[in-house]
Amino acid sequence: MNNATLPTRELTVAEEAAEHGFGADEMAAGRFGWASRAVKPMSIAVVILAWQAMGWLNSWLHLYNPRLFPAPADIAVSAWKLAQSGVLWVDIYVSALRVLEGTLAAAPIGVVLGMLVGRSRWIENTVEPVVELLRPVPPLALLPMIILWLASAKRPRSSSSPIAAS
């Protein structure tokens, strides 16, 4: 029997939901149409619209400093101006280089440490408590301490990149 004559079977609700990337709630309820797919983007749109409305309201009532919390439209206009002037692209390039630098600095250390932990129970028992102690701390939360410890204009950026990369 060749593949052309094999009977095709109907997908179950769970298989169809999994195929489209829906979770257990949608599978259990049997609903995974366009409405359930639109909820997440719609919630983001509602937050952005509410943020913009707050910006418009602030322009009349002056509730807060708009430089500290600008409206989305103001951000878009500023981004467009920076893109037109070329400043945005230079900043993106510099940031991408820092990410690459941090990744290149962190990856070899992580790979070697991971291999050592995998090969030696003693090293695993030594390293695991430190890793588990630091796991709940977001890497970006460590950046102010690194800047204070290194106290240099150039060094914190290159030294903090591997930590931020983790």
Q: What is the residue-level pLDDT of the chain in tens, covering all 166 positions? A: 555 555 555 556 566 666 666 555 555 555 556 777 788 899 999 999 999 999 999 999 999 998 999 999 999 999 999 999 999 999 999 999 988 998 999 899 999 999 999 999 999 999 999 999 988 998 888 888 877 877 655 554 555 555 555 5
Distant-in-sequence, close-in-space partners of 159: CB < 8 Å, separation ≥ 6: 146, 150
- Give the pLDDT confidence score for residue 102 in this predicted structure: 85
Q: What's the pLDDT at 142?
A: 84
pLDDT at 145: 81
pLDDT recorded at residue 73: 96
Listed by start position, the domains of the chain span 86-166
Contact 48, 72 (CB under 8 A): yes
The whole-number pLDDT of residue 56 equals 94
Structure tokens at 3: 């593949």
Q: How far apart are CA 60 and CA 71, in angstroms?
A: 13
d(CA 166, CA 159): 12
The whole-angstrom separation of Cα 89 and Cα 82 is 8
pLDDT at 150: 72
Secondary structure percentages of the chain, helix, strand, coil, to 5? 75, 0, 25
The whole-number pLDDT of residue 83 equals 95
